[in-house]
Each structure stands twice: as structure tokens, then as C-alpha cells.
Amino acid sequence: MTVHEAERRAMSRALELAARGPRGANPQVGAVILSPSGEILAEGWHHGAGTAHAEVDALSKLPGDAARGATAVVTLEPCNHTGRTGPCALALIDAGIARVIYALDDPGDVSGGGAERLRGAGVEVEAGEQADDARSLISDWLTAQRLGRPHITVKWAQSLDGRAAAADGTSQWITGPFARADVHRRRAAADAIIVGTGTMLADDPALTARDGDSPYDHQPVPVVIGSRETPADAAVRRHPHDVLFYETRDLHAVVADLHERGIQSAFVEGGPTLASAFISAGLADRVLAYVAPVLLGGDRLALTDVGVPTISAARRIVIDEWVPLGTDMLAIARLEDNEGVR
């Protein structure tokens, strides 16, 4: 089988439609139904958990047997299980769809297998059309599916000699405006931003993402970990999203709950204690270390105990990129023992 030009155009359109859907526990998926002559009959996308999947959303816009003999172009393999909604593979079969083009295989053990079911019912199936674009769109969701938790970035800023603050505890501003702007841009790309109660009480952060004085359209959900009370008048309580408070030191439990809430990517921006705890727990998939050309000395280290009792146990990192940001440098890295996790 080959993919025809009309089907390629339909996949490009399906990807545009998919991007309209919300990020969350379910992937962003788009679908286009084509007539045998290549004309668009209907379009659909997934509007969020509990709503019709993209294929069913598109089919619902067609009367009677209008889909019989048609082609469905979908950004993700039609699902093969019953959750809040029924299996999309069966819906396509029942509608009389004759051909299905999809971009990516569904990675789920339960939800996957739709292509096989379609073929078993005599439907022609072609996989892989514009797979790279589809993968880019839902890369965070795919990673979260593989890990069973959000993809976690641990960020800190430090002096050249590895300090997070001066001897008196002051830390604003170690890095310059270009580095700070880069942090806010990366915050805006994350689903959640995580700090500890120590940072909350010391700095009273708003935990918003801002472009200069203007907030980004997308704001990460604020997460605060720790047993100390956050003041009623704290800046974070004015955040556009409700704050998620976790009075626990069990980071695995925290990220499991975030996963259940549909959080696909998390940005850890707490102080040295929290950053070190995530690294020690094996929950740092990416490290962002902003290094400023200053010397501070003292004992306010950017990291504390990361479970290294001796030099032979050192946590080796792989630097993927050095990024100059004004006079500062950003190291984008991953831990060797998390190799393969991006």
C-alpha cells in the first residue's frame, strides 16, 4: 500500500486538529475522514478525558452510512480497549471504514492493538505517516507512558564554585537576565513546577512563567512539597491554578499522583535540598544547571547529599549541550544511570 497525496494532506490537518486538544492523562489526537475520492467528510479531535476520542468525534458528524467505504486518517493508532469510552477500532469497523492511515503506534499494553483488530476485520491499515511530527506533538505524553510518571527536569542556578547563595542566604540574582528569561520560557513549557516548603517560606515565589512583565499563556501547575504550612497570603496562592500541596517526603508517591492527574512534565525548582532529593531518588531525567561567572565561597552548596559516599560512587552526567546566556552558561545534562530517558 502507498499513502496518497490527499491522505498526506489529511494527516497534516489531523495534526493541526490534535494540537487543539488539552494536554493531560490522554494524548492529543486528531482525525480526518476522507471520501473514496479524497474529499474531507468530517474532522475531529480529542477534547479531554471522558470525551469522545478523535475518531469517534469525527464519525459523530456524519449521518447514517456516510462513512462506509471511507478512509480514516488518525495521528495515533485507534485504541482497542474500553475505558470511559469504547474502542475506537471497533467504532471505525462498525462505521464501515475501509482504510485507516495512522502516524504512531499506541504504546499502551491495554489500549494498543487497534491496528491488528482493524486488519482482522478486513480494513486496510497503513502506519507511520508523518510519525516524526506526531511524536513531536505528544513526546511528553509518550515519555510519561514509558516511565509511568512525568518527565522530570531538575533545575538550579549556581556560582562558578558551586554555591546557590551567599553566606547570608541571599541568592537573587546569581544569574543574569538572559538566564532568568530562559528559566521562565522552560517553566511555561512544563505542566507543573515543584518547590519545597523551604523555598516557599524563604523566597515567597509566585511560581508563574513570565515573559518580562507579561504572563505566558500556559502556566505550570504549582506544587509544594513539605510539612511546613504555606502562609495564607503567599504569592503562590494567587496563582491561576490551584496549588497542589504534598505533606510528605515520599517523592515517588508525589510523582505517581501527578501522573494520575495528567501531569506529563514537571520542572523542579526548589532549593538544594529538594533538587538533591530528586536526584537521590532517581527522579531526575534532565538537569539544567545555570552557571554564573561569580565566586561566593561558603557552605551554601547548590546540591547537598545525592547519595555519593565515595568518589567511585560519583553520579556521572552526560552533557547534551552548553548554552551561552549572556555572561552565564547553561549545562543541559542527564545522569548516566538514567541513560535513555529524555
**Cα-based distances in Å from 133 to 11, 71, 140:** 10, 20, 13
Residue 99, pLDDT score: 95
What is the SS3 assignment for 311?
A: helix
For residue 83, pLDDT over 80 is answered with no
Residue 341, pLDDT score: 46
Residue 29, pLDDT score: 95
Residue 96, pLDDT score: 95
- In the chain, what are the domains? 5-137 (3.40.140.10), 144-338 (3.40.430.10)
Average pLDDT over residues 82-91: 81
269 labelled catalytic: no
297-312 pLDDT, tens digit per residue, is 998 999 999 888 899 8
Residue 113, pLDDT score: 84
Q: Which helix (H) or strand (E) holds 187?
A: helix 177-189
Average pLDDT over residues 18-31: 90
Average pLDDT over residues 66-90: 89
What is the SS3 assignment for 190?
A: coil
Find the catalytic residue in 7, 43, 55, 269: 55
Percent of residues, the chain, with pLDDT higher than 90:
73
Residue 141 Rama label (left phi>0; alpha psi -120 to 50; beta): alpha
**Cα-based distances in Å from 126 to 77, 100, 103, 230:** 10, 6, 9, 53
Can you tell me the distance from the alpha carbon of 327 to that of 125, in angstroms, rounded to the nearest whole number?
53
The answer to whether 86 touches 51, Cβ cutoff 8 Å, is: no
Q: Give the residue among 289, 162, 267 at the shortest CA–CA distance from 216.
A: 267
Average pLDDT over residues 110-130: 90
Cell representation of residue 234: 503567599
Backbone angles phi, psi at 215, to 5 degrees: -75, 145
Can you tell me the distance from the alpha carbon of 216 to that of 212, in angstroms, rounded to the nearest whole number?
9
State the burial class of residue 71 (Cβ atoms within 10 Å of its Cβ: 0-12, 13-18, 19+).
buried
> Who wins on pLDDT, 167 or 251?
251
Quick one: pLDDT band at residue 340, thresholds 50, 70, 90? very low
Residue 290, pLDDT score: 96
The answer to whether 162 touches 235, Cβ cutoff 8 Å, is: no
Residue 84, pLDDT score: 67
Least confident of 173-177, 268-272, 337-341: 337-341
> Who wins on pLDDT, 195 or 145?
195
Which amino acid appears at position 205 of this protein? P
Percent of residues, the chain, with pLDDT higher than 70:
96
